[in-house]
Amino acid sequence: MSKRLPFAPLAAAIGLGFSLIAGSLVAPTVAHAEGEIRIAEQFGIVYLLLNVVRDQELIEKYGKQEGLDIKVDWTQLSGGAAVNDALLSGSIDIAGAGVGPLLTIWDRTHGKQNVKAVASLGNFPYYLVSNNPKVKTIADFTEKDRIAVPAVGVSVQSRFLQYAAAKQWGDKEFNRLDKYTIAVPHPDATAALIAGGTELTGHFSNPPFQDQALENPNVHVVLNSYDVLGPNSPTVLFATEKFRNDNPKTYKAFVEALTEAAQFAQNDKGAAADTYIRVTKAKIDRAALLKIIDNPQFEFSVTPKNTYPLAEFLYRVGAIKNKPESWKDYFFQDAKPLQGS
């Protein structure tokens, strides 16, 4: 019989320093006027640009330039499925999640709410790590293993795993490993993997959690997302067409705030690390965090990179019904259009 995963106590024990807002979001609210924006983020360094925006009150700053006193509401969730549900229910205006959830909701709302991405949050390699010494490649996972992902079948980690499976066994077997995946927030999955002794032997993670797990000598990398798809933007921000159209000044202030935050984070890694620790209350050593951020494979940028191969793959295997002709189909093209891929 499988052991129950003692996630919460373990997370507290190793001091990852995060808290997950429990329960579902509040009931949908009525449409609001210009000057209010509700943003949902998740866990990890990949959301650092939002930490900078929040810490420096950049949305408020650019709102004032538009003659608005913008009220900003921040929510933290876990998993693209929860984030997508929140956006469609009207509980949030800006969703932060992986390219996988973006493509799912873009496809689902095509010709209706028309959800599209606003910007990327940067380019980062995601690692599938394991504490099972028998697991050297994805082909070594068995029914005895469980792989933690933020959202089963929907999260970008799940989609990366499917992409890798298709390369290994062919498109018809793209979901071969889905049955081994379970939805667990990154902090809890990291704690369980480090502690060991449970059925959870794998975690498709993101920084800094993957780096913290790898500090344990029993944990090793099974798969690097860059080896599967090349350098890419795994995490993005997206919104409904209605919010963008109904709130042009608020939307513009958000985009400009995000652009400034990207320049700040990319140009001053030390200050970016300080911001992450201050905003998230993460119990992580500053020097260790700075080492992670200084990874030459990291790039803080609002410009999406190499997202289309995943979109084309999801259409090819039938995971989405609408085929995007290019990345521009699922990204809003604003006054200062992104030059992405």
User: What is the structure's pLDDT at 93?
Assistant: 97
User: What is the structure's pLDDT at 32?
Assistant: 53
User: What is the structure's pLDDT at 33?
Assistant: 64
User: What is the structure's pLDDT at 6?
Assistant: 41
Domain ranges for the chain, please list them: 7-16+125-229, 36-123+233-329
pTM value > 0.75:
yes
Query: Rounded mean pLDDT of 207-232?
Result: 94
- 7-16+125-229 matches 36-123+233-329 in fold: yes
Instruction: Assess whether pLDDT exceeds 50 at residue 27.
Output: no
Give the integer Cα–Cα distance in Å for 238 and 101.
10
How many CB atoms lie under 10 A from the CB of residue 90?
A: 19
Looking at the structure, give the CATH architecture of the domain made up of residues 7-16+125-229.
3-Layer(aba) Sandwich (3.40)
Tell me which CATH homologous superfamily contains domain 36-123+233-329.
Answer: Periplasmic binding protein-like II (3.40.190.10)
Q: Which residues of 290-321 are buried (b: 16+ CB within 10 A; e: fewer)?
A: eebbeeeebbbbbbbbbbbebbebbbebebbe
User: What is the structure's pLDDT at 43?
Assistant: 86
How many whole angstroms from its chain centre is CA 266? 18
149 or 283: which carries more pLDDT confidence?
149
Average pLDDT score, the chain = 89
Q: Which pLDDT tens digit goes with each residue over 76-135?
A: 988 888 899 999 999 999 999 999 999 999 999 999 999 999 999 999 999 999 999 999
